[in-house]
Amino acid sequence: MDFKLASRTFILAIAGGSFAFAAFAQWQWIDKDGRKVFSDRSPPADIQEKDILKRPGGSTRVAAAPASAIAPAAPAAATGKAGSPKLSGKDAELEARKKQAEEQEAAKKKAEDEKVAKAKTENCERAKRYLTTLQSGVRISQTNAKGEREIMDDSKRAEETKHAQEASDTSCK
């Protein structure tokens, strides 16, 4: 029994000690919004010395040297702000990519418009040739649904001439 009691005490002492060590390894400060912050890392460079409430180990003298080291970090923050043009550089890169995409889209639209114009021209030429053939009076034959050849009569020719004229008018604008 004594061994169990001793081992429990030892385990609790170790656990308590590690907990206490973990608690001492915490930073504590008040941020710019007035909230209390707990962290295992040092506060950012913009936190003033007076706002740091607790350091790891609880020592203020040991942390005084890092506090002076934090002061030179403030110009680094200003350098970070000077690094902001890099973001604008990324914006310029983004703008260049956006411009390139717009140019590609414009080229694609132009190619599509040219394709449509070419098809419209071909349809116009085809409709004019068919209208000329219909108006020439030459016998025209067509194949019916059964696969038999039929000669176009005058009423069918007049109907086809009307359709060909409409197609010519719409395609040749």
C-alpha–C-alpha distance, residues 166 and 170, integer Å: 6
Residue 91: is its pLDDT beyond 50?
A: yes
* Token pair recorded at residue 101: 């995409």
Residue 70: is its pLDDT beyond 60?
A: no
Mean pLDDT of the 120-132 span: 91
User: What is residue 16's predicted lDDT score, i.e. its pLDDT?
Assistant: 53
User: What is residue 67's predicted lDDT score, i.e. its pLDDT?
Assistant: 43
Instruction: Report residue 64's pLDDT band, with 50, 70 and 90 as the boundaries.
Output: very low
Question: Where exactly are the structural domains of the chain?
Answer: 2-82, 96-171
* Beta carbons of 80 and 86 less than 8 angstroms apart: no
